[in-house]
Chain A
Amino acid sequence: MGQYTGGSFFEIIEHTGDVGVRVWGRTKEELFENAGRAMFCLLLRNADRVQPRFRRCIAVRANALDELMVNWLSELNFNFCTENEVYREFKVLEIDDQFLRAEAHGETFNPEVHEAKIEIKAVTFHQVYVGPRRDGPGWEANVIFDI
C-alpha cells in the first residue's frame, strides 16, 4: 500500500489543457499497479476511501509495452465510466510486452462516500513512455490524459 495523496509512487505532469502522470515501480508489475492507483488519485478526490469490496479480472492485449499501458488504463477508465467501478488495489498476475492479466479490487462509486474530481476522455499516446526509470533503478511510465 502506498500513499494516496501522491508523491511516493507518482507525480502529476502539468499540461495547459490536460493532465498527466509520471509513475514509478520497482518492477514492471508494480509499475502497472501503481499506474492504476495514480489514475484513480486523479479521478477521485478521496481515493483512499475506496474499499476493496469486490475483485474484477482484467486482461488486455497490445502490440508494444507503451500501448499495453494505454490499453490497461483505458480499460479501467471504461469500467469507471460505464459500471461506476472505482478501485484502490491492483495485482498484476501475468505480464509481457503484449499481454497483461490483472485483478482490480474496489467497489461501486457511491456519491455519499466518494467524490469524483475529473472526467478522463481518453488515455492518449501523446509522449507516452513505459520503460526503465530514467533517473535510477526500477521502472517508469509517463502518460497524458485528455480531460
Chain B
Amino acid sequence: MSQYKLRKVTDYLWEIPREGKMRVPGRIYATEDMLPDVTKDNAHIQVANVATLPGIVNYSMAMPDIHWGYGFPIGGVAAFDVESGVISPGGVGYDINCGVRLLRTDLKREEIQDKIRDVVSALFQHVPSGVGSTGAIKLSNKELERVLVEGAHWAVENGFGTETDLDHIEESGRLPGADPSYVSARAMERGRPQLGTLGSGNHFVEVGFVEEVYDEKLAQKLGLFEGQVTMIVHTGSRGFGHQVCDDYIRVMLKASEKYGIELPDKQLCCAPVQSPEGKQYYAAMACAVNFAFANRQMITHWAREAFVKALGLPPSRVNMQVVYEVAHNIAKLEEHEVDGQRKTLCVHRKGATRAFGPGHPAVPAAYRDVGQPVLIPGDMGRYSYVLVGTEKAMVETFGSTCHGAGRVMSRHEATRVAKGRALKRELEDRGVFVMASSKETIAEEMPEAYKDVSRVVEAVALAGISVKVAKLRPLGVVKG
C-alpha cells in the first residue's frame, strides 16, 4: 500500500497532498469505484513522483484510465515551465505519437453488414501488420529525413491522401522543430522499413458504425450520424519512435546527473527544456511524432483503397473523410494561462489526449466553435467514444483528457484465460469479424483484458473536461 493518502476534492477528482519532495500536489480524475484499481498497481505513487520534477506547474495529473507506466504513469499529464522546467522521454513513452484517427463515410451500416468479411480481408491484405511488418515502400535516408520533418504533408505530397486530410489532424500532421540530425543512425535503420505499417500489440484498423449519438448538434458538426459507417486507425511511430526514446533515456540518465536533478525513479530521467539535451530530445521526438503522422496517413490511404475495392463502390460514394486524428503520447510546447498569465509550457501527455476547448486557434476551423474532437478507442469487442474538449479542460488540465480503457489483465494472463476458447468465433457471435497476424494477438487483446472504456469516459464527462458526442461499435477489426 502507498504512503500517499488520496483526498477527495469532488466525486470525480482526488488529490495527493504535497509532501516530502513533491513540488506540487498530485491530482487524479476518477470516480470512487475506480480508486482500488489505481492504488492496486501503485500508479498514484508515480503521480506523486512526477510532482517532484523541477518546474512542474499546478499539479501532476492523471486521467481516469491511469495505470502503471515506466516513470510517469500511463494517463499522466504534466506541464513544465519552459524556463525552469524539464522535458522527459519517460513522460512521452516509447511509442512516441501513438495515436488514433477517425474516418467517416457516407455509408450506412446495412450497406456493408453482409460484406464485412470482404472488407476486413481486403484491409488485412492492403495494410502491412504484425510483428516485424515492413512497408511496401523503400526509402533512402534522405527521403526518410523529409518524412521526419514534413510528417503527414510528405505522405500527401507523395500521393497518400488529400490536402483536406491535413486540416483534420492534430498539429495539421506536422510538429514543428523536428531535426533529423539529432536522430541516431540506429533509429533511422529501425524505422526505415516500417513506414506505412500497423505493427502489433494493441494497434488496429477497425470498421464500425455510430451506434448512439449523445449530442445531435455536436455530432452534426463532426459529420457523424447514427448508423453511419466509420473507420479507426490506431498505431504510432513503430520502431523509429521506440529507438528515439531508448536512445534519449540513456542521454537523459546522464543529463539528470549533470544538472543535479534528483530522481525518485530512474525512468523519470530528464533535462531542462532549454538545455542542449532537452532541445535535442525535443527535436528528435518531433521527428518521431512526424513519422507517426505520416504512418497513419499512408495506412489511411491503403485502407481507403481496400474499402472501396472490397465493396465495389466508387470512392465518391464511400466518401471516406478524416474526422480528426489525435496523439496519445507526446510532449508539446503550448501556451496556457497560469495564475492569470500566459505562459509557454512543455506539456507531457502520456496515454492522454489533447482536448482543447471551443475557440482555440489550434482547433481546425470546422470545429473551432465546438472544441477539438477527442477519440477514445475501447477494446475490439465493445465500443469506442467520440468526445470534444471543453473550456474547463483548458482551465484544469492544460486542455487534456483520457485516451482509452487501460488493461486489467497481463498479456500472459489473457492468453491463459483464452485457452480452449474459440475467441474469433465468440467475437463473430457478437457481430465483430476479426483478422490478426497471430491467434495469440486475438487472445491477448480480448475484450476482458481491458477495462470498460465507458466508465473512463463517464468520469471525464462528469468532471467536465470533455463532452460526449457519440459511441461507435466495431463490425470488423484488423489486429496488428
Contacts and interface: CB of A to CB of B under 8 A. Distances in A.
Interface of A: 12, 14-19, 43, 45, 74, 78, 80-82, 84, 109, 115-119, 121-122, 124-126, 144, 146-147
A124 B90 CA distance: 11
Given A14-B413, A124-B267, 20 more contacts: A12-B412, A15-B68, A16-B67, A16-B68, A16-B407, A17-B68, A17-B407, A18-B410, A45-B438, A82-B190, A82-B193, A82-B239, A115-B438, A117-B440, A121-B245, A122-B249, A124-B70, A125-B267, A126-B266, A147-B411
11 contacts: A12-B412, A18-B410, A80-B132, A82-B193, A82-B239, A116-B130, A118-B200, A121-B94, A125-B253, A126-B267, A144-B70
Interface string B236-276: 00010011011001000100000000000011000000000
Contacts of A74: 246
Contacts of B71: 126
Contact of B190 (A43, A81, A124, A146): A81
A17 B266 contact: no
A147 B242 contact: no
Contacts of A82: 189-190, 193, 239
Contacts of B413: 14
Contacts, number: 84
Given A14-B412, A16-B410, A19-B412, A84 B132 contact: yes
Contacts of B242: 121-122, 146
A137 to B, nearest CB: 28
A81 B239 contact: yes
Contacts of B130: 116
A144 B267 CA distance: 12
Interface in B12-60: 41
Nearest to B69: A17
B208 interface: no
Contacts of A124: 70, 267
A115 B440 CA distance: 11
Contact of A118 (B74, B95, B201, B249): B201
Interface string B187-212: 00110010000011100000000000
A125 B71 CA distance: 10
Given A81-B190, A119-B131, A121-B94, A16 B409 contact: yes
A78 to B, nearest CB: 6
B311 to A, nearest CB: 30
B440 A45 contact: yes
How many B residues are at the interface, by size bracket?
A: 35 or more
Contacts of A19: 410-412
Contacts of A115: 438
B94 A109 contact: no
A83 to B, nearest CB: 9
B342 to A, nearest CB: 36
B217 interface: no
B408 interface: yes
Contacts of B41: 16
B186 interface: yes
Contacts of A43: 131
A19 B185 CA distance: 28
B131 A118 contact: yes
Contacts of B249: 122, 125
Nearest to A83: B189
Contacts of B131: 43, 116-119
Given A16-B410, A78-B186, A146-B94, A122 B132 contact: no
Contacts of A119: 131-132, 199-201
Interface in B114-132: 130-132
A12 B410 CA distance: 11
Contact of B132 (A14, A109, A121, A147): A109
A109 B132 CA distance: 10
Nearest 3 Cβ contacts at the A-B interface: A116-B131, A121-B242, A14-B410
Contacts of A116: 130-132, 438
A14 B409 CA distance: 9
A80 B193 CA distance: 13
Given A121-B242, A124-B267, A125-B249, A17 B95 contact: no
A19 B131 CA distance: 16
B238 to A, nearest CB: 9
A126 B242 CA distance: 16
A86 B200 CA distance: 18
Contacts of B243: 78
Contacts of A45: 438, 440
Contacts of A125: 249, 253, 266-267
A125 to B, nearest CB: 5
Contacts of B201: 118-119, 147
A87 to B, nearest CB: 15
A59 to B, nearest CB: 15
A72 B80 CA distance: 34
Contacts of A14: 410, 412-413
A124 B201 CA distance: 18
Contacts of B190: 78, 81-82
A15 B70 contact: no
Contact of A122 (B189, B193, B245, B407): B245
A116 B438 CA distance: 8
